[in-house]
Amino acid sequence: MKFEVLTIFPEVIECYLKHGVVGRALNKGIAEVKVYNLRDFTTDRHRKVDDYPYGGGAGMVMQIEPFYNALRHIKSDGIPRKVILLSPQGRRFSQRIAKEFYKEEKTLTLICGRYEGIDERIKAFVDEEISIGDYVLSGGELAALVIIDSVVRLIPGALGDELSAEEDSFMKGFLDYPHYTRPEEFEGMRVPDILLSGDHKKIALWRKKEALRNTLKNRPDLLKNLSAEDMKILKELCSEINKKILEGVHEPVNN
Ligand code: 4FV
């Protein structure tokens, strides 16, 4: 899987690519990230990439030419790619879209804005606009890294054992179950006995139940098209919670 990043801060991207899962995947050669410094595609001796906004107003706007020159250079190899502009106006990114990008196996060319944004005419050269969330960042670099990280995790061999990508939150459509490791007891808080039982069938059932409990509590909106087995577990969970509520030992689920 190949990624290309257009940015005026290449070091911000390169720094992150040296570490963790993404760093290992790049070393293994199962993913590749090419970072382009936009200033290398300017034509003036000050390597200017921004200018005052037409119509006035605060801040600066990024000029179209450096992006146009960079994309023309990059696209000259004729490889099929998807050009993505990171911006708050884009389609809201999610695990489903990460899977979509992975399955498409197209090179992802990620355009990172800075300042107030990029001249609107950039959209004539963009296939898709993506937002990582309803907040305003100082640049698109963090959003580009979010996409690279979440897509690289889906590449077979990127994560230690195969299973874990499938195990990730949202991969199954709901939140993750609680994780514990040594020590067995900390500040009076004990690891649930079931996890020390060695009974993997019971442990799997407990994990599914706790994942549904977390989802019911924090993201009930995700509890749709559940399997019959999951629905059965969720029903048991709800009756348990209601029973506790009626006994006054459980605060109502605030949904
Ligand atoms: C953003 C987001 C984001 C807007 C102006 C960069 C900033 C500045 N990108 N999801 N939210 N971008 O806030 O993707 O140029």
CA–CA distance, 153 with 166 (Å, rounded to integer) = 10
Residue recorded with tokens 């720094």: 15
In this structure, the answer to whether residues 107 and 196 fall within a common structural domain is: no
Where residue 139 sits, what CATH number does that domain have? 3.40.1280.10
Q: How far is CA 222 from CA 36, 94, 132, in A?
A: 38, 12, 18
CA-closest candidate to residue 226, choices 241, 240, 215: 215
Listed in sequence order, the residues at least 6 apart from 245 whose beta carbon sits closer than 8 Å to its beta carbon are 251, 252
Q: pTM of the entire structure?
A: 0.91
CA–CA distance, 85 with 78 (Å, rounded to integer) = 20
In this structure, the answer to whether residues 148 and 44 fall within a common structural domain is: yes
Instruction: Tokens for 51, please give them.
Output: 């200018």
7 lines ligand 1 (CB under 6 A): no
What was the pLDDT predicted at 54?
A: 98
Which ligand 1 atom is at minimum distance from the Cα of 118?
A: 15
Is 153 among the catalytic positions? yes
Q: Is residue 26 part of a domain?
A: yes
Q: Is residue 172 part of a domain?
A: no
pLDDT digit string (tens) for 179-216?
999 999 999 999 999 999 999 999 999 999 999 999 99
Tell which of 104, 131, 152 closes a domain: 152
In this structure, the answer to whether residues 10 and 121 fall within a common structural domain is: yes
Q: Atom 10 of ligand 1 has which residue's CA nearest to it?
A: 131
Q: Do 4 and 81 meet the contact criterion of CB atoms below 8 Å apart? A: yes
pLDDT digit string (tens) for 245-254?
888 865 555 5
pLDDT over 70 (residue 169): no
CA–CA distance, 215 with 120 (Å, rounded to integer) = 39
Instruction: Specify the DSSP class assigned to residue 248.
Output: T
pLDDT over 70 (residue 161): no
Q: Is residue 123 part of a domain?
A: yes
Q: Is 56 left (phi over 0), alpha (psi -120 to 50) or beta?
A: left
- What is the residue range of 204's domain? 185-249
Is 11 among the catalytic positions? no
Tell which of 152, 175, 202 closes a domain: 152
Q: Is residue 174 part of a domain?
A: no
- H helix intervals, 196-246: 200-218, 228-246
Q: How confident is the model at residue 125 (pLDDT cuts 50, 70, 90)?
A: very high
117 lines ligand 1 (CB under 6 A): yes
CB atoms within 10 A of CB 150: 21
In this structure, the answer to whether residues 11 and 130 fall within a common structural domain is: yes
CB-based burial, 105-125: b 16+ in 10 Å, e otherwise: eebbbbbbbbbebbbeebeeb
Q: Do 39 and 8 meet the contact criterion of CB atoms below 8 Å apart? A: yes
Is 116 among the catalytic positions? yes
Where residue 190 sits, what CATH number does that domain have? 1.10.1270.20
Which ligand 1 atom is at minimum distance from the Cα of 134?
A: 11
Q: Is residue 142 part of a domain?
A: yes
22 annotated as a binding-site residue: no
User: Per the residue annotation, which of 50, 65, 149, 168 is the catalytic one?
Assistant: 168
Spacing, Cα 111 to ligand 1 middle (Å): 11
Instruction: Tokens for 130, please give them.
Output: 């993506």
What was the pLDDT predicted at 244?
A: 87
What was the pLDDT predicted at 99?
A: 94
In this structure, the answer to whether residues 110 and 217 fall within a common structural domain is: no
pLDDT digit string (tens) for 11-68?
999 999 999 999 999 999 999 999 999 999 999 999 999 999 999 999 999 999 999 9
61 lines ligand 1 (CB under 6 A): no
How many domains does the structure of the chain reveal?
A: 2
Is 168 among the catalytic positions? yes
135 lines ligand 1 (CB under 6 A): yes
pLDDT digit string (tens) for 71-103?
999 999 999 999 999 999 999 999 999 999 999
Instruction: Tokens for 127, please give them.
Output: 């296939």
CA–CA distance, 207 with 185 (Å, rounded to integer) = 19
